[in-house]
Amino acid sequence: MSEFSDLTICKDAQIMLKKAQEEGIQTAWDRLKKQEPQCGYCELGVSCRICAMGPCRIDPFGEGPQLGVCGADADIIVARNLARMVGAGSASHSDHGRDLVLVLREIGLDKTSNYKIADAAKLMLIAKEYGINTDKISEGETARQLAEAMMEDYGMKKGILSFISRVPKQRIDVWKKVNVIPRGIDWEISEMLHRTHMGVDNDYVSILLQAVRSSLADGYGGSMIGTELSDIIFGTPQPGFSEVNLGVLKEDQVNILVHGHSPIVSEMICIAVEDGDMLALAKSKGATGINLAGLCCTGNELMMRKKIPMAGNHLMTELTIVTGAVEAIIVDYQCIMPSLGQIAQCYHTKMYTTSDKAKFKFMEHVEFTPQNAREQAFKIVREAVENFSRRDKKRVSIPCTPVRSMTGFSVEAIVAALGGTLTPLIEAIKAGKIKGAAGVVGCNNPKIKHDYGHVELIKGLIANDILVLTTGCVNVAAGKAGLQVPEAKELAGPGLKEICGALGIPPVLHVGSCVDNSRILVIACALANALGVDIDKLPLAAAAPEWYSEKAVTIAFYAMASGIYTVLGVMPPIGGSTKVVELATSGLNNVFGACFAVEPDPVAACTLITSHIALKRKDLGLGV
């Protein structure tokens, strides 16, 4: 047993944590310790610093103040804080989606030679979905018109998001009743901020319904646009194999990592590392090649489409630098710990920022635009290669060998694997071979043993014949545990094992990055439409066992509002309002046919999900 085995289940992480300790490097785990005990008011959500009459806090024991200076009570303060988290999560995904819309428009206007349409068939399909008559117009003109139609989804011109047309009618009726159909992406996010300004919306239910609407603007708006356009511009993922863990770094090669979320940057780096001149330069510096690997969601994007290996998830990002083997890390935005620049100072690793939205101390800024992306990518890769000579070989430690992992399960790929329609999946569910499906998504959080929450929950689910779809940082956890290869069927229950064996797929499907949770929504909508029922009637569930980010709260909200029961492994900051807790954990059922549960123990979380799926099967008249 390693001395770090209470922090992480991953061997590579344990070895690197030891090295970090020996080399005096602080990690998120160390900083968490220094923060403890964390503020109890903030943990309960009852502190407010929205205005300058505050900051205010409500005494959870009922002895001290029960109202803020403005008169807001615990319910209002808790709801406002939570709603602002949802708004920020929606903004993050949606602003990422917007960047892809802007690139698509530049392609359409022929203003960039760096980006092209990789999946013209999908461009045509989505353009048709948007009501664009593609018959007599060029591919470029189609791209321009689609980009501009999507821009309207961001604004207030349409009054309803285009992809809402994918949602079953029964679900739209549910949303109509409580007035949460998203009207425009930016509209809902900005209204969320408006409503939570002091003196605007002061009804906790009303505040939380706007949080729902803002989350739906992400799930069926910003994220869905992000996914569909990434497929159009960079290619719709197809199944294939890659590798995961820190062992994907190569001792004899220049190692370059991409970190963040946007494929706009990482795809261009991918082109530069494959260039012959760059390779020749690397060889002249004594390296045998240039090795590109991913971190977090931009890593997922490259893995899905290009089978580029993944070095790690959220809590591994600092530890990759500790290997001493990384020449450069290129970041775009989201989930990039500000500590990375500082840690890189202790090694030879060069850090680059690429978006004016996301600048960091100790990182060099190299702004990427659709016009200069290729040039900038080559500049960074050249510098990374030159940096190989500065590597201190004595400090290099690559702690393990990589694990093989299967990826690339876009909706199109899943449908193709099923033979062209969802019918075989529906039949397998009806026959009880597959009891249901669960999306296991989200982050790492040092408050939960790293990757333990993901891996244990997933193992329990597949053993119970529940097909698992993974996104975000869960992919690395599942991949490292050997759960994302066809051979993992041996860990599945007999029915799921049979289906996976017949199709040659793993019981745990890598469906992409966090914006790609929209792929799960598309499948849920298609299943419901095929069966003629609402989504909440299906044997589906979602879980975020180790979530940390505002984006994860937004995902949880749109999953729940779509009718999918959602289990969280970390308590959100709502404990200070019994009314909000009651609404979240049961009241929402009466409105959306789904609610949240909080369960940090993955074994207990698995029981919650299997019982929920059994109940849904019973209600559908299917064998349990």
* Chain contacts with ligand SF4 (rule: CB under 6 A): 48-51, 53-56, 68-70, 72, 77, 198
Binding window for ligand BF8 (CB under 6 A); candidates: 25-33, 149-157, 488-496, 548-556: 548-556
- For residue 394, the one-letter residue type is K
What token pair was written down for 270? 């991918």
- Of 78 and 425, the one with the shorter C-beta distance to ligand SF4 is 78
What is the nearest approach in angstroms of ligand BF8 to the Cβ of residue 475? 9
Within residues 322-341, the interface with ligand BF8 by CB under 6 A covers: 335
Under rule CB under 6 A, how many of the chain's residues touch ligand BF8? 15
Q: How far apart are CA 191 and CA 466, in angstroms?
A: 38
Per-residue interface string for the shown chain with ligand BF8, residues 441-460, x marking contact by CB under 6 A? -xx-----------------
Within residues 91-120, the interface with ligand BF8 by CB under 6 A covers: none
- Of 313 and 407, the one with the shorter C-beta distance to ligand BF8 is 313
What is the nearest approach in angstroms of ligand BF8 to the Cβ of residue 99? 15
What three-state secondary structure class fits 542?
A: strand
Binding window for ligand BF8 (CB under 6 A); candidates: 109-117, 214-222, 376-384, 549-557: 549-557
What is the nearest approach in angstroms of ligand BF8 to the Cβ of residue 278? 27
- Of 75 and 153, the one with the shorter C-beta distance to ligand SF4 is 75
Q: Beginning with the edge strand found earlier in the chain, give each strand of the sheet holding 403-407 in spatial order.
A: 364-365, 350-353, 328-331, 254-259, 290-295, 310-312, 240-244, 403-407
Q: DSSP class of residue 8?
A: B
What is the nearest approach in angstroms of ligand BF8 to the Cβ of residue 167? 23
Buried-state track 245-281, b at ≥16 Cβ within 10 A, e below 16? bbbbbbeebbbbbbbbbbbbbbbbbbebbebeebbeb
DSSP annotation string for 334-373: SS--THHHHHHTTSS-EEEE-BTTB--TT-EE----TTTH
Q: Which residues contact 205 (CB under 8 A, 6 or more apart)?
A: 79, 583
Q: Are the C-beta atoms of residues 439 and 411 closer than 8 Å to each other? A: no
What three-state secondary structure class fits 555?
A: helix
What is the nearest approach in angstroms of ligand SF4 to the Cβ of residue 429? 48
- Which of the listed partners (ligand BF8, ligand SF4, none) does 297 bind, with a CB threshold of 5 to 8 Å by partner kind? ligand BF8
What is the nearest approach in angstroms of ligand BF8 to the Cβ of residue 89? 8
What is the nearest approach in angstroms of ligand SF4 to the Cβ of residue 83? 13
Going by their DSSP bridges, the two strands 403-407 and 328-331 should be labelled as: unpaired
Binding ligand BF8 (rule: CB under 6 A), the pick from 473, 509, 561, 598 is: 473
What is the nearest approach in angstroms of ligand SF4 to the Cβ of residue 62? 17
- Of 58 and 343, the one with the shorter C-beta distance to ligand SF4 is 58
Contact between 15 and ligand BF8 by CB under 6 A: the answer reads no
What token pair was written down for 432? 């009880």
- Of 341 and 472, the one with the shorter C-beta distance to ligand BF8 is 472
- Of 296 and 591, the one with the shorter C-beta distance to ligand BF8 is 296
Question: Shortest CA distance to 516 belongs to which of 194, 276, 283, 296?
Answer: 296
- Of 58 and 500, the one with the shorter C-beta distance to ligand SF4 is 58
Contact between 297 and ligand BF8 by CB under 6 A: the answer reads yes
Q: How far apart are CA 503 and CA 562, in angstroms?
A: 29
403 phi/psi in degrees, rounded to 5: -105, 135
What is the nearest approach in angstroms of ligand SF4 to the Cβ of residue 190? 19
Going by their DSSP bridges, the two strands 565-568 and 540-544 should be labelled as: parallel
Q: Which residues contact 464 (CB under 8 A, 6 or more apart)?
A: 435, 493, 606, 610
- What is the contact surface with ligand BF8 in residues (CB under 6 A)? 261, 296-297, 313-314, 335, 442-443, 472-473, 513-514, 549, 551-552
